[in-house]
Structure 1
Amino acid sequence: MSAPTAPTTLTPSIVGQAEKHHTAVLTRALVGTTLNEQQWIVLNQTLDAGEPVEPSAHIARIAAMTQWARTEVETAANALLASALLTTTPHGLLEPTDTGKAVVRKVRTESGAIVAAAYGAVPTEDLVTAARVLVAITARMAQELAHA
């Protein structure tokens, strides 16, 4: 008889593997679009804002959220403007175009089924705990990075 396996604890390797699999799902859903990951996140976050956003603050928020250089986020936003997936309002704010909204729907639909199946295999209370833990770890890492 074999010894019982000790429960696995959360490690950077586990978090990294999960993140890499999320990225692979997104990459598959982005096939056929002109978007890379940075452009997708900028477009998706702009739509999620629910209203036009001030470009500088929006770029700063996404750079902080992703830990990307501000210039990378600006480049992504400029590419989205050039491809007419984002537009600038008369007041200088960014908002998705109808085409941009359609691309977001397509990508969310294509990735959503896989993500829903994966998350649906986990009890809700475990997802709540995982969310709380990952938010706490991310906040602590952000604090440490701010001191560097």
Structure 2
Amino acid sequence: MSLNPKIVGQAEDAHEAVLVRALATTGVTKQHWIALTLAATATDPAPTGEPAARLSQALRSADPAQVRQILDDLVTAGLLTTEHAVTPAGQELFARVRAETGQVVARAYAGIPADDLRTAARVLELVTSRLDREA
């Protein structure tokens, strides 16, 4: 067996299903989750406009209105401040979903040698980088 788009897609779909299940009762979509994750894992406060730019890149979306709506939704839900910092409610949701999905993913990856996981990560990062350049 060789790495190919079908295998990569199936792995992505399986990971996404775990996330969707964890988000099912939260009112947060995958796009909202990506925005919340970017805000929750940011190391420094982002300059004005940067959260939207990072989200646009992460979603591979050139639609500024869609990106603004996602951020506005999180502000309205009380998960982000108007400056796009994570609120305490946002931190709680982020921690809860991350813990739930982390447990499932840890079980899925259990027993796979660390060297194999590092190799898979390197290959997927390289493929992603090359495809991003093509796009």
TM-score, with structure 1 as normaliser? 0.84
The letter for the 1-side match of 2:43 is: G
Q: Is the 8 Å Cα contact of residues 79 and 89 (structure 2) preserved in structure 1? A: yes
Aligned counterparts, 1:44-83, within 5 A: 44-69=37-62, 70-83=64-77
Match of 1:135 in 2: 125
Structure 1 residues 127, 55: closer, same or farther in 2, change over 3 A? farther
How many Å separate the matches in 2 of 1:125 and 1:136? 17
More strand per residue: 1 or 2?
1
TM-score, with structure 2 as normaliser? 0.92
Structure 1, unaligned runs of 5 or more? 1-7
Which of residues 56, 76, 80 is equivalent to 1:86?
Answer: 80
Q: Is the 8 Å Cα contact of residues 46 and 94 (structure 1) preserved in structure 2? A: yes
Q: Is the 8 Å Cα contact of residues 29 and 111 (structure 1) preserved in structure 2? A: yes
**1:38 corresponds to 2:31:** yes
Tell me the C-alpha RMSD between the 2 structures.
1.4
Q: Is the 8 Å Cα contact of residues 39 and 77 (structure 1) preserved in structure 2? A: yes
Task: Among all aligned residue pairs of Structure 1 and Structure 2, give the percentage whose two residues are the same amino acid.
Answer: 40
Higher Rg:
1
Displacement of 1:30 after TM fit? 0.4
Which of residues 64, 85, 88 is equivalent to 1:98?
Answer: 88
Q: 1:95 aligns to what SS in structure 2? A: coil
How many Å separate the matches in 2 of 1:52 and 1:141? 30
Structure 1 residues 10, 75: closer, same or farther in 2, change over 3 A? same
